[in-house]
């Protein structure tokens, strides 16, 4: 199984993404008839390893098309023009990309840069009058997230976040079964998210660019998953941080955080976010009448799920292909996804992460009203 954890341990980017292409061939055809509806024309900003994965996956999209690229590295722009057939007139750098506002051939810009850069870049995209797509975490705190939402509202553009699991078939089937009361009253969720991070010099271990440590990068999946798996918002939070390597994980860069949620129904959650433990990629949902498990739960796949009634046999998909086609439906046709992927959804995660950091720092139980 290939996971993003393996992937990040052996950083770096595009070489690895290319090696994953055979797995992407597992993508199911999304339609059997030629598609004749509107197509979302996307420019990607920040041509790193995840951007390359998204660009490769977009080659199989029906409703979304990669048409532009924005980069601080001229050689990457040249390479992307050749590899993805992107016209030079749709390529920009970080100084010039506000000019995208005069480019009628681009509908949306997908920002895939280090976390702390999303805020300013998304606001510039909004001011250029284009729909904005941000990678997760949308921002490094809820205040910055709110500013991004406000800027997009003010500019009259939509803001979406790359929550690819919100479209993943096993995940959606468990949500469907939970809503159909198949597990009875939900009592407990466990989310384990982590991997051992490699290169100590990478931006993920630099607070100024990452905004934190494992919580911002991988713990956010447990935060977000606790919400969509239980169908509730946490009303209190406690958290504990442990650090075994303060040289690699400096001040403001969390190595491992355990955190707990209480929900209004009385259900609880217990989660683990780590940059120093391998094989953490598991969700477990417990109810009075049944249970569900996703393991792996948020890696690139294949995702596997089972319940007290047996294995789930939902289709294996390429997450990024599906996500971009769904984003096209949302942005062009006003489609409402089962689990939201908009800026308001991301602000909830950021408020929770702010509270987790506060709880870990102070040892206090933090009340939340989302």
Q: Which active-site residues does the annotation give? A: 136, 221
Residue 82, token pair as written in the block: 């050749």
What is the rounded CA–CA span in Å between residue 60 and residue 169? Answer: 18
Q: Is 71 in the site for ligand NDP (CB under 6 A)?
A: yes
> Of 89, 351, 105, 91, nearest to 235 (Cα)?
351
Q: Given the complex with ligand NDP, which of 211 and 305 has the nearer CB atom?
A: 211
Q: Is 164 in the site for ligand NDP (CB under 6 A)?
A: yes
CB of 162 to ligand NDP, least distance (A): 5
Contacts of 228 (CB under 8 A, 6+ apart): 165, 166, 171, 175, 339
Q: Where are the beta strands (DSSP E) in 170-254?
A: 186-194, 236-242
72 or 246: CB nearest ligand NDP: 72
Select 186 or 328, whichever has its Cβ closest to ligand NDP.
328
User: Looking at 42, 48, 133, 175, which residue binds ligand NDP (CB under 6 A)?
Assistant: 48
Question: Applying CB under 6 A, what is the total number of residues that bind ligand NDP?
Answer: 24
Q: Compare residues 46 and 191 and give the one whose CB is closer to ligand NDP.
A: 46
For ligand NDP, which stretch binds (CB under 6 A), given 46-54, 189-197, 326-334, 348-356? 46-54
CA distances to 84, 170, 260, 306, 366 from 320, rounded to whole Å, are: 16, 15, 30, 23, 35
Q: Is 135 in the site for ligand NDP (CB under 6 A)?
A: yes
Q: Return d(Cα 301, Cα 55) in angstroms, integer.
A: 17
* Token output for 91: 């390529």
Give the Cβ contact number of residue 295 at 10 Å.
Answer: 15
H-helix or E-strand containing 92? strand 91-92
Site for ligand NDP in 214-253 (CB under 6 A): 217
Q: How far apart are the C-alpha atoms of 36 and 327, rounded to whole Å?
A: 17
Q: Which residues ranging from 245 to 304 are in contact with ligand NDP (CB under 6 A)?
A: none
- Minimal distance, residue 339 CB to ligand NDP, in Å: 14
Q: Which of the ranges 47-55, 192-200, 223-231, 348-356 carries the binding residues for ligand NDP, by CB under 6 A? A: 47-55
From 66, 112, 186, 312, residue interacting with ligand NDP (rule: CB under 6 A): 112
**How far is the C-alpha of 99 from the C-alpha of 77, rounded, in Å?**
16
Cβ proximity of 270 and 234 under 8 Å: no
Radius of gyration of the chain (CA): 20
Using CA atoms, how far apart are residues 205 and 128, in angstroms rounded to an integer?
31
Stretch that binds ligand NDP, among 40-48, 253-261, 271-279, 357-365 (CB under 6 A): 40-48
Nearer to ligand NDP by C-beta: 124 or 178? 124
Nearest alpha carbon to residue 137 among 346, 369, 364, 362:
346
**Does the protein bind ligand NDP through residue 198 (CB under 6 A)?**
no
Q: Is 126 helix (H, G, I), strand (E, B) or coil?
A: helix
Among 2, 49, 182, 235, binds ligand NDP (CB under 6 A): 49
Using alpha carbons, select from 1, 121, 4, 102 the residue that is nearest to residue 52. Answer: 4
Please report whether residue 200 would count as binding ligand NDP according to CB under 6 A. Answer: no
**In the complex, what is the shortest distance from the CB of residue 87 to ligand NDP, in angstroms, rounded to a whole number?**
17
Q: Which of 68, 162, 219, 225 binds ligand NDP (CB under 6 A)?
A: 162
Tell me which of 50, 84, 195, 261 binds ligand NDP, using CB under 6 A: 50
Q: Determine which residue in the list 18, 26, 73, 362 makes contact with ligand NDP, applying CB under 6 A.
A: 73
Q: Binding residues for ligand NDP, per CB under 6 A?
A: 4, 13, 46-51, 71-73, 76, 112-115, 117, 135-136, 162, 164, 203, 209, 217
């Amino acid at each position: 199984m290939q996971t993003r954890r393996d992937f990040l341990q052996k950083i770096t980017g595009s070489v690895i993404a290319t090696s994953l292409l055979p797995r992407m061939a597992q993508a199911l055809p999304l339609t059997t008839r030629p598609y004749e509806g509107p197509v979302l024309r996307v420019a990607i900003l920040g041509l790193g390893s995840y951007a390359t994965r998204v660009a490769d996956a977009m080659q199989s999209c029906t409703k979304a098309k990669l048409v532009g690229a924005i980069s601080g590295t001229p050689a990457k722009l040249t390479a992307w023009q050749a590899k993805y057939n992107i016209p030079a007139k749709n390529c920009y750098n970080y100084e010039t990309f506000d000019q995208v506002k005069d480019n009628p051939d681009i509908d949306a810009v997908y920002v895939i840069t280090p976390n702390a850069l999303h805020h300013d870049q998304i606001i510039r995209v909004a001011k250029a009058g284009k729909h904005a797509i941000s990678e997760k975490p949308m921002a490094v705190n809820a205040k910055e997230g709110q500013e991004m939402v406000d800027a997009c509202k003010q500019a009259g553009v939509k803001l979406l976040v790359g929550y690819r699991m919100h479209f993943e078939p096993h995940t959606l089937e468990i949500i469907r079964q939970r809503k159909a009361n198949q597990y009875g009253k939900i009592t407990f969720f466990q989310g384990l998210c982590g991997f051992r991070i490699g290169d100590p010099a990478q931006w993920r271990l630099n607070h100024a660019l990452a905004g934190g440590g494992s919580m911002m990068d991988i713990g956010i999946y447990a935060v977000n998953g606790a919400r969509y798996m239980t169908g509730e918002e946490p009303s209190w939070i406690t958290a504990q941080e442990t650090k075994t390597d303060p040289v690699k994980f400096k001040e403001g860069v969390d190595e491992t955080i355990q955190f707990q949620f209480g929900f209004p129904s009385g259900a609880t959650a217990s989660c683990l976010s780590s940059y120093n433990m391998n094989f953490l990629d598991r969700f477990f949902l417990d109810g009075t009448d049944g249970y569900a498990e996703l393991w792996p739960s948020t890696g690139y796949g294949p995702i596997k799920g089972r319940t007290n009634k047996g294995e789930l046999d939902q289709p294996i998909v390429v997450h990024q292909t599906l996500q971009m086609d769904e984003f096209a439906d949302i942005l062009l046709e006003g489609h409402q996804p089962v689990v939201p992927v908009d800026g308001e959804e991301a602000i909830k995660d950021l408020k929770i992460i702010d509270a987790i950091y506060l709880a870990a720092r102070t040892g206090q139980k933090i009340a939340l009203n989302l």
